[in-house]
Amino acid sequence: MEFNLFKTLDGLINGWCERRALRPLAYLLPAYSGVFVHTDQQFQLLEALKNLNRLSLNHLTLEELRLVTEALDFLDQRLRTRVI
């Protein structure tokens, strides 16, 4: 089964909204428009995911951290193949 970036990010956002986890939302929402027409938007999302990945477990559950890492790795690989 192929990784679905948008489904993963939407699920994380919904979970954070439900438990009112403002810090992760503050990192991700400014960079996540849901539609990425330009590569620079994807790089902004990549940076937001890197910052989220650095958050401590005080703000992310182990499962959320795993999903953020998966999304980060997926987007990083996708952008590397485009740039290189």
Write the burial class of residue 78 (CB in 10 Å: 0-12 exposed, 13-18 middle, 19+ buried): middle
Residue 60: domain span = 5-29+37-83
Please report which confidence band the pLDDT of residue 23 belongs to, taking 50, 70 and 90 as the band edges. very high
- Average pLDDT on 57-79 reads 93
Please report which confidence band the pLDDT of residue 84 belongs to, taking 50, 70 and 90 as the band edges. low
What is the rounded CA–CA span in Å between residue 79 and residue 12? 21
Q: Look at residue 10 in the predicted model and tell me its pLDDT.
A: 96
Q: Are 74 and 5 in contact (CB under 8 A)?
A: yes
> Is the predicted pLDDT of residue 58 greater than 90, yes or no?
no
Report helix, strand or coil for 4. coil
